[in-house]
Amino acid sequence: MTALLGQVQLRDRSTGEASCVADNGFCPSWIADNFDRYVDPLLQHVFLTVVSLAIGFGISFGLALLAHRRRWLVGPITQVTGILYTLPSIAVFFLLLPLTGRGNTTALIALVAYTLLIIFRNVMAGLDGVPTEAKDAGRGMGLTRRQLLWRVELPLAVPEILAGLRIAATTTVGLATLAFFAGAGGLGEQIFADITFKSNVVTAGGLAVLLAAALDALILLAQRAVTPWARARA
Amino acid sequence: MGEGAGVSTTLAFLGEFGDAIEFIVEGTTTREGNDVGGLQFLELTWEHMKLSLVAMAIACAVAVPVGLWLGHIRKGEFFAVSASNVGRAVPSLALIAFFVAYLGVGFTNVTLALVLLAIPPILTNAYVGVSQVDNDTVDASRGMGMTETEIVRRVELPLALPLVFGGVRTSMVNVLATATIAPLAGVDSLGDPIINVNTYGETGRLAASIVVAALAVFTELSLGAAQRAVTPKGLKLESDQQSRRRIPFLTRREATT
Amino acid sequence: MKIHRLTGLLAVLCLLVSAFAMAACGDDEEEGGGTQTSGEQQAAIESNPDNQGTTITVGSKNFTEQKVLGEVFAQGLEAAGFTVEKQLNLGDEKTAFAALRGGEIDAYPEYTGTALLSFFGVRADRIPKDPQEAFEQVRTNMEERNVTALPPTPFTSSNEVGVTRETAQQNDLQTISDLSQVDQEFTLYGSPECRQRTDCLLGLQQVYDLDFQRFRPVDIALRHEVLTKGQADASIVFTTDPQIKREGFVLLEDDKNMFPPYNSTLLVRNQIAQGETGQNMQDVVEQVQEGLTAEVMQELNARVDLDKKTPEQVAGEYLRESGLVR
């Protein structure tokens, strides 16, 4: 039953006929047809995650090297990054708003803040876990402190460091779903665009989970590639 | 009002943050005549805590026994450990949205979503805590004639308690943070002024953000203190640093997998 | 351990991949959109080179009808040669109006009733019932704020109290006044701003003297969901919501005439409305909204809410189907 009004065709929708889409159902064919609307949010999400991981890694790695030389810094750094890690991300987005405004900057600052504790702790644990014998051997070969760090300690700490990066990656993907509160888009915005439509929620949420899994797998593969000796040990 | 003026002058240098703190302490009345801020924050904090605590209670009741039991029989490691990995990969917003789309809004549904969110870290930590207990210790207890239940209760649980508590702490902070988005699903919490900015204004939103942040930090610190308090004396010999590192997702064992 | 982890990961990946594969093979349920049978063609919007130098940022509030309206105006203006930017999804009326006055956006559609209530403090029962009169009042008030209110749309929409058919039958509800029998046991859902609007919760309390057991603020997009899922006994919906027909909701009659009529008027900053190309812009807006009757608006809303098209697609369809854009 259709009626013409002006030139826009009207469909009678009072029949309530079953329709997966209109019933807000989970409709594979709809998802297949409309997948393109998830591409941009996904890319924004990847951007937010990767950039904050990169910055977060840079900062915490630097802090860890510093604390490795000056042990007394470990406590304060752990405490400060621990507090940052505890702050709920939505709260942080809005606490930053008066200072940095809406947009990517605010989202990135908050997301970076979360990665610090995880990566810092794991870099420290990795460095602390280097066997004394290995360090002694290095010193015996006449390595300077700097050489010892870069040639012996850090390579041996790689598995633990990358394990930290994996945790940080999955956590960041999850937190980035809230970045739309800071006006930075991402998959969260898409989830929220139609929170009652199962197809939408499952697709956007599923993509976030997939992204987390993919990053996790990628870092794991990288870890295997750069630490062939670990494979022999396992 | 005189008192209010006092507070605002003191806080003036803080700018918007000062206004927000004033909003928390004294509240204000909107043009429509709604009283917002001030005492209302106590109410919202209570709603927020109620939601979080109910979810945590259910999560503990489920995850602790299962984790202890799996750890005791040393089975299901893959399940117990991947629970927290999978849990971390599922964004809390997606979880809430999933519940809204499939079950609808309301206290029960949001609580359920939070329970699901809270279970993995507790389960994993309980499992790792118990399974880490030295096999020789367990055998010695058996030799002393203890029943399996007694072993769990009197040997494994006390030794695992710091880790179990660590899991509860992680979950609690996470649940508190996530409860902030509960108003999206029709449940009152401290997220109300954050999400419904027009009712409370920008100042109200900032104020709520401050309260949520403070609540999370306070909870984290007090649970941290409690965790140290439940650590058996023998284990305290290890430094706090080290016991922290043994929270499963940071253990060396995990790291090298 | 290592192997296990990887297998687990692979399992998850496989599951997701197969889900997508299934999606690709699933039968196509999508209905072919209305086949357009064109009657008399309306004059198409002509691109005017004079307009190219003017950039207009069009905004909208955060619900379907607003987003569709925002897109319709944005695409119409674009067709007329304006440079158009969009900021659709600005939240509630206060956020949108603040954005307009702050110059963040240049125009957004607002309902006459909402403007009088929320911006000028007019009580719901004092709002003129005559749409034109209500519009005139908005226009004069807006002038003082350096905002031009363009002539209203043909369609009228309003807030409504919606209940399910079962609820209406069980409690013998026909009018809003009938709620006074059951309000103590009823949970009312509405958008968060409903709490402080006299054409919403405040009005129901003051004009109808209703005292609901509780009011639950919920995101505006969930206004029907809470009824179908049974969480709400009553929910505030809009007249032009297509879900009402589909789900068979009963709209309670506003027997005390509290809900004012809402026609949409495009609010434009004077800098733009009275600028060089201001008249061109106003002409385009009037041309574009001429076809927006209640039936058409409901259809457009339905294409977004029920057919799950994007507001952008639907606005494009409207402009093409009505011959405004070729």
CA distance C189 to C194: 9
Alpha-carbon distance C212 to nearest alpha carbon in chain A (angstroms): 25
Q: What is the pTM of this model?
A: 0.82
Percentage of the residues of chain C whose pLDDT score is greater than 90: 53
Give the dihedral sign, CA C134/C137/C141/C143: positive
Q: Smallest Cβ distance to B30: which of C1, C91, C196?
A: C196
pLDDT at A102: 81
pLDDT at residue C274 tops 80 = yes
Look at A148-157, C38-47, C140-149 and tell me which has the smallest mean pLDDT.
C38-47
Residues A139-186: tens digit of each pLDDT? 999 999 999 999 999 999 999 999 999 999 999 999 999 999 888 889
pLDDT at B35: 67
Answer whether C296 sits within 8 Å of A10, measured CB to CB.
yes
Residues C147-188: tens digit of each pLDDT? 999 999 999 888 999 999 999 999 999 999 999 999 999 999
Instruction: Provide the 8-state DSSP code for B183.
Output: G
Residues C80-114: tens digit of each pLDDT? 999 999 988 787 788 889 889 999 899 999 999 88
Average pLDDT of chain B is 82
**Comparing C-alpha atoms, which of A184, A86, A107, A90 is closest to residue B193?**
A90
pLDDT at residue C37 tops 60 = no
Q: Smallest Cβ distance to C13: which of A11, A21, A213?
A: A213
CA distance B203 to A195: 27
CB half-sphere exposure, A110, CA atoms < 13 A? 35
Where does residue B87 rank: exposed (0-12), middle (13-18), buried (19+ CB within 10 A)?
buried
- Residues sharing a CB contact under 8 Å with residue B190, sequence separation 6 or more, in sequence order: B41, B44, B45, B47, B48, B179, B180, B208, B211, B212, B215
Phi, psi (deg, nearest 5) at residue C216: -115, 120
CB half-sphere exposure, B253, CA atoms < 13 A? 9
Q: How many CB atoms lie within 10 A of CB C233?
A: 22
Tokens 């002058």 label which residue?
A: B9
Residues A200-224: tens digit of each pLDDT? 999 999 999 999 999 999 999 998 8
Q: Which residue has the higher pLDDT, A196 or B254?
A: A196
Answer whether A14 sits within 8 Å of C246, measured CB to CB.
yes
Angle between helices B197-230 and A89-100 (to 10 degrees): 130
With contact defined as beta carbons under 8 Å apart, do A143 and A152 qualify? yes
- In chain B, which residue's Cα lies nearest the Cα of C96? B198
Strands (E), B183-241: none
Enumerate the H helices of C197-277 as residue ranges: 201-206, 225-228, 243-247, 270-273
With contact defined as beta carbons under 8 Å apart, do A32 and C26 qualify? yes
Strands (E), C54-106: 55-60, 83-88
Query: Which residue type sits at C4?
Result: H
Query: Which residue type sits at B220?
Result: E
Q: Smallest Cβ distance to A205: which of B15, B94, B205?
A: B94
Where does residue C134 rank: exposed (0-12), middle (13-18), buried (19+ CB within 10 A)?
buried
* Chain A residues closer than 8 Å to B181 by CB: 90, 178
Alpha-carbon distance B228 to nearest alpha carbon in chain A (angstroms): 15
* Chain B residues closer than 8 Å to A215 by CB: none
pLDDT at residue C27 tops 60 = no
pLDDT at residue C191 tops 50 = yes
Alpha-carbon distance A6 to nearest alpha carbon in chain C (angstroms): 7
Task: Report ipTM for this prediction.
Answer: 0.86
Average pLDDT of chain C is 84
Tokens 């990066």 label which residue?
A: A165
Neighbours of chain C (3+ CB pairs under 8 A): A, B
pLDDT at C49: 87
Answer whether C296 sits within 8 Å of A194, measured CB to CB.
no
Distances (CA, A) of C178 to C31, C199, C200: 40, 18, 17
Tokens 């719901």 label which residue?
A: C124
